[in-house]
Each structure stands twice: as structure tokens, then as C-alpha cells.
Structure 1
């Protein structure tokens, strides 16, 4: 038998959670054609993977790279950490369908620049990506907040019946054109006035397509329990699967509350379809004027439009230098994004260790000083939380990054090293993999990643992008 590429002698961690096994992997065109002892096979190219882990390419189910895949299609921040598939359109904000004109309200303006291409339909965005593909596979949720910006003239009130009907038709069309689910963000101003009933009507459209309701809940801090109850109610009333994005217990007063929230999720899972993901960091990142600065022990300015020179500096230091209070300094920096130290390490570990948790980065790559999660999330899990802290074993961690998100979001034939699946693969050194970046130097690439393949094409080797842009729209 002959293959295009043979990955020989590596320790295969296949993404299912099964124990690693020594073996070979054959790749022909964009598919894995065989695994196991392939010593009698030949190949156009043999790659010795002895002493290395061969795993499925990592799937990041929660990013905000809707525009970046167009403007920076090499996607070094993803490939360099072994990510081969991303899901955009999260927290209620997607690049399409966007028909609103003029400056974009936050946080959509944090994800998209005002001169970004506007796509009135999801099909137009999909076709642009097919014509000019990025280096990673992409899928996209359809944002309720974006639909609201399109249709609701006054975002400070609930949508009326006619506006909900128009939004539902637009969502139905976008899901028919390939959007993989609905995302909502009632935490954010454009959707904060939405009622539970409005969100439920949107979820019913997603359910009709057999797709998920994915939510940045109304509150992740003092009212996180009420927000979970609302999410579960929406799922029950719409008969729709619900997925809690980047689950956290934000704010000093809520540290330790994950014991309660995870127990709530456990109980809900007994009677309805519920899922969740999380990030391996004690700091979050969003628009600077989100209110989270009041819950945080420290705030770093990630980016500021009027004061780009302040990126990377602590908000408290900026305020002191300007001789003003923090709130006044924040207003002067807007529009801006921030990094907020609001979580407890114990909660982070507890949520990571929870058996149903999927790993995500929640990355926003725009700006000069992003959160280090943009470049370091997946190596951080494999290095710090697996190798150093022992929160779970390598096989479990890789399952949380591969087959679990693939299955949860319906990404067929992804997330596994198995005959017939797409040849998305990452080869890395389990002894050295780690995030090489930090809050002071957030864009340093990870260490320990040898090779990354996307649809059978070598895309990253030992810190260097191959130039391949082999991603497809899922």
C-alpha cells in the first residue's frame, strides 16, 4: 500500500480518550487512510515521529476571529499551538449577516473594524472564505446580537413581535446557508434588553435546524446561578440543546461558586441537552467598559483606539499617571479592550477537571496586546495543567480539544485519528510543550509543537508557517 505521507512510530493519542498506542498514520490527499503497524507501506514522504505524540488537530470552539481569517489568513496564532479548526461568531456577535451601516456598537466593534467587509448574508461570507481560504478550517455561529443590531432601532428595549419575526427569518436563512448554530450574548449592551422569551424564539429556530443555542450568559458573576437557570429554561422551552460558553465564576465575591454551578449543570444534564466550555486562565478579556473592572483584582489595557500607546499597561497605573480615578481613565481610553483578573485558580481547575468541559481560548486576535490565550491556550493545558499540575491525563485533555468539540458542534469526520477522517493532525513533544507567552509578552508562539497538518497539508513546522492555506469552511 502507498500513501502520500506516513507519520511513523509516534505515540498515537486518537482523540477518543483511549490510551496512547505506538503506531503509524497514513495520509492520502486530505484523509487518514490507515493507522497501526504500516511497516509494509510506502509513501511519497516518511516522517519519523518517534518520541512524539500524534494527535488530531485541536478544535477551538470559541474564538472571535471572524474578521482575522480574512485579514490575516495565515492564522499563525492558531497553527502555532496546534489548532486546525476554529468556530467563530460567538457571544452573540458574528460578522454575518450584517446589514447595519455606520459605526458598530461594542462589542461587535471590538471584533470587527469599521472598515471591515460587510456581508449581508452568511452565504456571502462563506463564499468569500471558500474563494480565499485561511490556513485553518472555519465554522461560524450566527449571532443574535448581530441580528438585533440589524433590526432593532432602539437596542435598549426588548424586540417587538415583528422584529423577532424578521430576526427569526434571517437566522433561518443563515443556518440554511451553513451557519452551525445560534450564539447569544445577553451580557452585552446590544442584547441586554432582550427578554427570555425573545431568546427562546431564536432558540426555536436553531432547534428546527438541529443546531445548538450557544450563550455568553446574562451574568457570569453575582447572578451566575440565575443566568444558568435562564439558559436551562430556554433549552427546555425551545427543546433545543444549550451550550454555556467559557463558563466561569467572575468576581472576588463569587470565588468557589463553581461547586454550585457545576452541580446545577450536572442536574440539568439528566433531563436536557447541556454542554459547556472553558479557558485555562484566571483572567478574562472583553470590552474595557464591560463593568468587569469593578470585579477584578487587576486590569490590563489590551487595546485602545484613542490611546494605542497604553496597550499592555495596567489601568490603575494609567489613571495614576493621568491624575484621575479609574472610571475617568477608562472613559478616556474608549473604545478599548481589557484583560480582567476576575477568576479563582481553584474554580479554573474545578471547571477544567469537570468531565463534560471542552477547552476553548475565547481568543480575540485584534489589538496590539491581546490576552495570552490567543497564542497559548492549548499548550498551556497540555503543559501546565496536564504535565505539571496533573489535573487530568494527556488522553483526557486531547479528547476535550478534539472529538468532544467535533461531536458537540456536528463537525463530521473531525477530531479523531482514525481511518477515513480528515487529516488534521498535530505532532508534539509531551515533555516540552508549553505556552511560551505571558501577560507581558502575549504573542510569543508556543514551544514543543513540531508539525501541524490541515486537511493533509503540512502547515506548520518547528515554529515556521509553510505558507499553506488548506482550511475549508465547515
Structure 2
């Protein structure tokens, strides 16, 4: 007698093969068999007629490390069919720590660098752990999705060096202590080592995060610790992830992979037809690593992520060339500068310069839509395009946007219309999805909560494949979000619908699947806000055979497991070891 039979669904198994109408039998959290079964053979029957049944989606780049303590379901990813997440990316884990000062530092860093709510972190996370083993133990039995946690460089460095972590390179003795800490974390089940060298990453004091201060020797010394622990991996982010890799960065990626004998992934590859050389440089960097026997994989998003911008606090606009010195001024001074014609001219020119790099996609000022306004002067502008308003006023798009923002005392919520939403850019994206060194992902779910919402990419992409641009067969899209990441991370018996595999399953309506419109919810601890998109068409989700989403709504079940390296993962060999 099976626990469950899912009957008469079109099963897309994650291998890229065409869907087949068949039944799936589940027992003890595993797929017992696939075929045709009588309803009397199971305790429970789920009718999947006219539905697609596929493996649960695996999100390779999230930051749910803190959110899981107040939201064990990892929402909204769970609503979109995600059953496994990888967190602790970019060098930002919240363990290990040695004392309250480490917790305070890491919390302030996450507020700055990952856009997390200070109030939510204060109220929702107790920081009552020290070792990485302690941290993972807190998650055991308390999560609704499967979670794998990278060990972040910043936490290692802060634990060993305290305030000096952002001031100087480490001594040999300090590097040895970090290696020991990392080894203990990997022994406890950490998925691997993550680090950041990116100029965009600053801590709560505005200083480079600890990993950016590390020497190349330190980074390589930590990477090579992974070789001793089966089923581990590497992740990093660097300047080249945004603006194209230098030869030095390619060499460092190569050596990290070779020293660790492990694959490395980086975030995030963006494609813009206005800057085709950028993504070609980045793909070429991965190919150069492979030629030397290493493995470097670029994460890329198959959708344009919905986000908000504003002028009152930190957002991506601050990263435009020359903008930071204006945007970080006290509010009254900032408003004076933004009203100054000479400053406006300079900001607009700087934003259009080649130095803007990937952030240039935010400079289509006329495409910005006014999300929410707060003044009488701006009454009636909500939902309108800046270009339309500018045309009515006979003013430049950028100047019109600034006028609106200033009338609201900088509080205006803006919805940018990216400049790379053009046919040429989409055709370029289509070509790279099948590249051996590219993997779908990069949602940043759990981070940038007030300004970005990437968690919805599985439903949004599937909808686009079925009834939108149709740039990929739905079978291939599902493979990219299931079997491909499962193989990259060496996840055992996950990522496909196959006999003996874990019953992480999604049942969705192909006629209805999509992401809902973005909205702002004040549902974090302390009623802090987050940008949120629910899902349409996701009927049921099972994690390890347990129903976690029913009729599109979450149950209270917590069947997720902590995916520990060497237990739930095996080593994914690099080319040099094949």
C-alpha cells in the first residue's frame, strides 16, 4: 500500500524529455514507482488530470539564512514550487560567531549589503548559536523546504579577527584559524565556501565587507579546505560579475576551483544587447577556467526581476558613477543638490557613461513607472510612466523624475522599466541558457526585501515558455530549474522524477501558472515591509512526500531537511578529475 498516488498528470521528469501522462506512487517520502496504478493501492489519491507534475524547483542562490527563523516556509519561494534552497551565498552566512559583537556586526552588514530589515533581524533572530553545527541544528526539523547552507567568508573572518577583519590582511596564524573553523563547519554539513570581492558590498559602517580585505592567498587557503570534504562546492561574487572579468579574476576563479577540486558558481550574469561584449567576456571567463581543468558556472535569471527604486535610502541607483556622494548626503542637502540644474546634468551624464556598467539598465528614466506618491503635488501620478508625464510638462524624463521625487520629500516609490527588455537581448539570453557553463538562478530570495522580488522566477519563466515569448520548451525550463542544479551541487536523489528519488514534487495548471503582480507587504517582524509576488496556478507542492502547498495555499507542515554535504550530497568532479 502506497502512501500517495498522483494520478493522470502529465509528468515532466526533469531530464528535458517530453511529458508523459502517467501516475506517481509515493511512500515514506520517496517515489516508489511510476506507471499505472489502481486507486485502491494508496491511502491517498491526488487527481492531476490536466495538470503538469514536475520535480520541485531548486533555487541555487538565496539569502534565507535569517528569514527561516521567523518564516520557516521560505516564502514566497515555497508558493512558486521551490522545494530546495541554497543560502549563505556571497560570503554572507550568519554562522559561525563567537560572541554578541559578531552577531551585531553581521546583522548590521546584512542590513546594508543585503537590504534586510534591521527591525526584522532584531525581533526575528535570537543569534543563540556559535558554531555552524549549532546553527544547522537550529534548523533541523524546523523548515518547510530543504535547505543547504554555504559557509560565508565574512563570518569566518569576523570570528577570528574581530574589528581587524575590515582593516588588514590576515596573518598566517589567523588564516590557519579560519581554515579550522571552515573545516568544522563543513564537517557539520556546510555545503561549501562562499566569498565576495565585489565593490558593491559594504558593511554597516560603509566599509568593504571583511572578505574584500582578504589576500588572494587567504581566499585560496580557504577554498582548498573544501577538497577534504566530499560533496562541497564554491561560490563567489566579484567585480567581474557585474562589469566583465579581468585576467586576474579569471586566474583566481581557476585557482579556487583547482585548489578545492570543486566547481564554483558566481552571480549574476546579465545580458543586454546594448553591451554584448560584457556577457561574452563573462562566458569566456568560464570557458577559460574549464580549459585549465577547473569549473566555473555563471548563474543567470530567465526573467527581468521586478524591483523598486527610491531616493530616500540605499538602492542600486547609489552605484551609478558619481551618484554616491550626492545620494549619501543628509536629506536636506541631498534635496538641494537634486534641485540644482548643474548637479542634475552631471548625474544624468554619469549615469549614461560606460563606467555605469550593468547598472546602466536602470537609466531608462522614461520607462520608470510611478509606484506610490505622498504629496498633493503628485496626486494622480501613481501608475503612470515618467515619459508620459515629462511629455505633458515639456521637460526631460530625468528632470521630471527628480521633480516628482523632490515633491514627495524623496519618498516616491519608483518601478524601473529596464532598458534590456528588447527582442535582441531576449534572443541572446535564449542562446546562453543551453551553455554548459550557465545555470538558471540568482533570485537573491530573502534579501533586498524592500526593493527586489526574484523569488517568483520559476512560475514566471514557465508561463513565458508556455504562452509568452516561448523561447524554451517547458521541459527544458523545468530541467534547468531541477536536474541541472541538483547535479551541480551533487544533491543525492533529487531533481528528477525517478523511482527511488525524494518526493519533492510540484503539480501546476499549465493554463494558469504565473506570478502575481508585485505588492508591498508589511508582514516581517515589526511590520517591516517587503516586496512580494504570490503565485498563480501552483496547485500542490510536496516536500519529501509531505503536502506543503494545497490549492495554492501553504500548509503548516515542516518536512524540509537540512541538506548536509557528504550526507545529502556527493562530489561533482571538475574537468581535471574526470
Between the aligned partners of 1:202 and 1:342, the Cα distance in structure 2 is 39
Aligned pairs for 1:65-464 within 5 A: 65-99=64-98, 100-104=102-106, 105-107=108-110, 110=114, 111=116, 113=118, 115=122, 116-118=125-127, 119-131=129-141, 133-152=142-161, 153-154=163-164, 155-187=166-198, 188=201, 189-190=208-209, 191-210=211-230, 211-226=232-247, 228-235=249-256, 237-249=258-270, 254-270=275-291, 271-282=293-304, 288=315, 292-294=319-321, 295=356, 296=359, 297-298=361-362, 320=403, 345-346=425-426, 348-365=429-446, 369-374=450-455, 376-385=456-465, 387-438=467-518, 442-464=531-553
What's the offset of the Cα at 1:168? 0.9
Residue 428 (structure 1) shift: 0.9
Query: What's the CA shift for 1:74?
Result: 2.9
Cα displacement (A) at 1:342: 8.0
8 Å contact from structure 1 (residues 221, 251) kept in 2: no
CA separation of 1:95 and 1:290: change in aligned 2, threshold 3 A:
farther
Query: Structure 1: where are the runs of 5+ without partners?
Result: 301-311
What is the Cα deviation at residue 23 of structure 1? 0.7
Contact 1:213/1:240 (<8 A) preserved: no
After superposition, the C-alpha distances for 1:167-216 in whole angstroms (9 at most, x for unaligned) are: 11110000000101111111132122223222111110112213211111
Contact 2:540 2:551 in 1 (8 A): yes
Counterpart Cα distance in 1 of 2:306 and 2:154: 20
Query: Relative to structure 1, is the Cα distance of residues 11 and 261 closer, same or farther in structure 2, using a 3 angstrom cutoff?
Result: same
> Do the aligned residues in 1 keep the contact of 2:299 with 2:439 (CA within 8 Å)?
yes
TM-score with structure 2 setting the length: 0.70
Q: Give the deviation of 1:414 after TM superposition.
A: 1.2
Cα drift, residue 318 of structure 1: 8.8
- State how far apart, in whole Å, the 2-side matches of 1:171 and 1:339 are: 40
Distance 1:125 1:17 in 2: 37
Per-residue deviation at 1:45?
Answer: 1.3
How many angstroms apart in 2 are the aligned matches of 1:173 and 1:272? 25
Q: CA–CA distance in 2 between the matches of 1:43 and 1:54?
A: 18
Residues 164 and 198 in structure 1, CA contact (< 8 A), matched pair in contact too: yes
Residue 472 in structure 1 maps to residue 561 in structure 2: yes
Q: CA deviation at 1:123?
A: 1.0
SS of the equivalent of 1:460 reads: strand
Tell me the distance in 1 between the aligned counterparts of 2:176 and 2:147: 29
| Displacement after TM superposition at 1:415 (Å) | 1.1
Matched-pair contact (CA < 8 Å) for 2:305–2:453: no
CA gap of 1:319–1:368, structure 2 versus 1, over 3 A, is farther
Residues 267 and 44 of structure 1, relative CA distance in 2, 3 Å threshold: same
Q: Which has the higher helix share?
A: 2
Of 18-27 and 70-79, deviating more is: 70-79
- Does the 8 A contact of 1:432 with 1:447 survive in 2? yes
Any idea what SS the aligned residue of 1:272 has? Answer: coil
Q: Structure 1-normalised TM-score?
A: 0.84
CA contact (8 A) 1:185 1:218 kept: no
* Misfit runs of 4+, over 6 Å: 250-253, 284-287, 312-319
Q: Cα 1:3–1:149, aligned 2, differ >3 Å: closer, same or farther? A: same
How far did 1:379 drift? 0.8
- C-alpha distance in structure 1 between counterparts of 2:270 and 2:5, whole Å: 45
Secondary structure at the residue paired with 2:104? coil
Do the aligned partners of 2:13 and 2:496 also contact (CA within 8 Å) in 1? yes
CA contact (8 A) 2:298 2:439 kept: yes
- Mean CA deviation greater in 237-246 or 54-63: 237-246
Task: State the 1:434 CA deviation.
Answer: 1.6
CA distance in 2, matches of 1:290, 1:227: 28
Which of 42-51 and 249-258 deviates more? 249-258
Residue pair 1:57, 1:83 contacting (<8 A) in 2 also:
yes
CA offset at residue 69 of structure 1? 1.1
| Contact 2:56-2:81 at 8 Å conserved across structures | yes
> Quick one: distance in 1 between partners of 2:320 and 2:417?
7
Counterparts in 2 of 1:162 and 1:68: CA distance versus 1, 3 Å: same
- Per the TM alignment, residue 225 of structure 1 is displaced from its structure 2 partner at its CA by 4.2
Distance 2:179 2:399 in 1: 43
Cα separation, partners in 2 of 1:236 and 1:411, compared to 1, 3 Å:
closer
- 2:39/2:45 contact within 8 Å kept: no
* Gap runs ≥5 in structure 2: 202-207, 322-355, 369-382, 387-397, 522-530, 564-578
